[in-house]
Structure 1
Amino acid sequence: MNADAFRHFYNYHFAENRKLWETYIPLLTQEQFTRDLGYSLGSVRNQLVHLMSVDDTWFSGLRGVEIPEPLNPAHFENRDDIRSYWDNVERSMVAYLEGLRDDMLFDKPLQDEDKALVLWQVLLHVVNHGTDHRAQILCMLNKLGVKTASQDYIFFVYENP
Structure 2
Amino acid sequence: MDANTFRRYYDYHFAENRKTWNDYIKDLPEDLFNKDVNYSQGSVRNQIVHLISVDEAWFSDLRGKGIPDSPDPATLQDKDAIRAYWDSVERFMGEYLETLQDGRLNEKPLKGEDENLILWQVLLHVINHGTDHRAQILRQLNDMGIKTGPQDYVFYLYDNP
Q: TM-score, normalization: structure 2?
A: 0.98
| Residue in structure 1 matched with residue 133 of structure 2 by the alignment | 133
| Residue in structure 1 matched with residue 116 of structure 2 by the alignment | 116
- For 1:37 and 1:29, how far apart are their aligned partners in 2? 16
Letter in 2 for 1:118: I
| Residue in structure 2 matched with residue 92 of structure 1 by the alignment | 92
- For 1:67 and 1:38, how far apart are their aligned partners in 2? 27
Which runs of no fewer than 5 residues in structure 2 stay unpaired?
Answer: none
- For 1:24 and 1:153, how far apart are their aligned partners in 2? 19
- For 2:147 and 2:105, how far apart are their aligned partners in 1? 38
Identity of aligned residues (%): 60
1:20 Cα deviation after fit = 1.2
- For 1:66 and 1:39, how far apart are their aligned partners in 2? 29
1:26 Cα deviation after fit = 2.3
Letter in 2 for 1:57: A
The CA deviation string for residues 19-73 of structure 1, in whole angstroms up to 9 with x for no partner, is 0111111231111100012222110000000000000000000111131012211
1:10 Cα deviation after fit = 0.2
1:122 Cα deviation after fit = 0.2
The CA deviation string for residues 73-123 of structure 1, in whole angstroms up to 9 with x for no partner, is 111110100110000000000000000010010111111000111100000
- For 1:103 and 1:61, how far apart are their aligned partners in 2? 19
Report the number of matched residues. 161
- For 1:146 and 1:28, how far apart are their aligned partners in 2? 9
Residues 1:60 and 2:67 are matched in the alignment? no
Alignment of 1:9-24 (within 5 A): 9-24=9-24
SS in 1 for 2:36: coil
Root mean square deviation of aligned Cα:
0.8
Contact 2:3 2:101 in 1 (8 A): yes
Q: TM-score, normalization: structure 1?
A: 0.98
| Residue in structure 2 matched with residue 42 of structure 1 by the alignment | 42
| Residue in structure 2 matched with residue 72 of structure 1 by the alignment | 72
Contact 2:76 2:82 in 1 (8 A): yes
Which runs of no fewer than 5 residues in structure 1 stay unpaired?
Answer: none
Contact 1:27 1:146 in 2 (8 A): no
| Residue in structure 2 matched with residue 103 of structure 1 by the alignment | 103
